Amino acid sequence: MQNYVHAIPTKVYFGKGQIERLPEALAAFGKRVLLAYGGGSIKRIGLYDKIMALLHAGGFTVTELSGIEPNPRIESVAEGVRLCKENNIDVILAVGGGSTIDCSKAIACGVFYEGDDLWQMIVTSGGFSKALPLVDVLTLSATGSEFDGGGVISNMTLNEKLGAGLTYPAVSICDPTYTFTVSPYQTAAGSADIMSHIFEGYFSREDDCELSDGIAETILKTVMKCTPIALQDPENYSARANLMSCSSVACSGIPEYGKEDTGWPCHAMEHELSAYYDITHGVGLAILTPRWMRYILKKDPTALPRFVRFAKNVFSLTGADEGALAREAIDKLEAYFKSTGIPMTLQEVGIGPEHIEDMAAHAIQVGRLDRAFVPLTKEDLAAIYRMCL
Where along the sequence are the contacts to its own copies (CB under 8 A)? 1-18, 208-212, 214-215, 217-219, 221-222, 225-226, 237-238, 241-242, 245-246, 248-249, 254, 257-258
Q: For residues 43 and 35, give the distance between their C-alpha atoms in angstroms, rounded to a whole number.
A: 13
Give Cα separations from 184 to 140, 209, 282, 339 (angstroms): 12, 34, 13, 11
Give me the least distance between CB of 208 and its own copies, in Å please.
4
> What is the secondary structure of 176-205 as a DSSP string?
GGGGTT--HHHHHHHHHHHHHHHHHHHSSS
Give me the least distance between CB of 269 and its own copies, in Å please.
28
Measured from the CB atom, the residue of 127 and 253 that comes closer to its own copies is: 253
Measured from the CB atom, the residue of 187 and 242 that comes closer to its own copies is: 242
Measured from the CB atom, the residue of 71 and 245 that comes closer to its own copies is: 245
Measured from the CB atom, the residue of 197 and 362 that comes closer to its own copies is: 197
Measured from the CB atom, the residue of 9 and 40 that comes closer to its own copies is: 9
SS3 296: helix
Give me the least distance between CB of 240 and its own copies, in Å please.
10
Give me the least distance between CB of 310 and its own copies, in Å please.
15
Measured from the CB atom, the residue of 140 and 219 that comes closer to its own copies is: 219
SS3 132: coil
Cα dihedral 366, 158, 283, 41 sign: positive
| Pairing of the two strands 91-96 and 61-65 | unpaired
Measured from the CB atom, the residue of 118 and 241 that comes closer to its own copies is: 241
Q: For residues 342 and 358, give the distance between their C-alpha atoms in angstroms, rounded to a whole number.
A: 25
Measured from the CB atom, the residue of 20 and 370 that comes closer to its own copies is: 20
Contact partners, residue 302, CB within 8 Å, separation at least 6: none
Give me the least distance between CB of 35 and its own copies, in Å please.
23
Provide the residue type at 274 as one letter: S
Say if CB 222 and CB 242 are below 8 A apart.
Answer: yes
Give me the least distance between CB of 194 and its own copies, in Å please.
11
Strand partners, 37: 95
The C-alpha angle 66, 67, 68, rounded to 5 degrees, equals 100
Give me the least distance between CB of 342 and its own copies, in Å please.
21
Give Cα separations from 82 to 117, 118, 161, 224 (angstroms): 13, 12, 22, 42
Give me the least distance between CB of 21 and its own copies, in Å please.
9
Measured from the CB atom, the residue of 36 and 244 that comes closer to its own copies is: 244
Give me the least distance between CB of 367 and its own copies, in Å please.
26
Say if CB 174 and CB 113 are below 8 A apart.
Answer: no
Q: For residues 146 and 123, give the distance between their C-alpha atoms in angstroms, rounded to a whole number.
A: 22
Q: For residues 281 and 227, give the distance between their C-alpha atoms in angstroms, rounded to a whole number.
A: 17
Measured from the CB atom, the residue of 253 and 265 that comes closer to its own copies is: 253
Give me the least distance between CB of 286 and its own copies, in Å please.
21
Strand partners, 134: 92
Give Cα separations from 11 to 21, 93, 170, 210, 235 (angstroms): 11, 14, 6, 27, 26
> What is the secondary structure of 30-66 as a DSSP string?
-SEEEEEE-SSHHHHTTHHHHHHHHHHHTT-EEEEE-
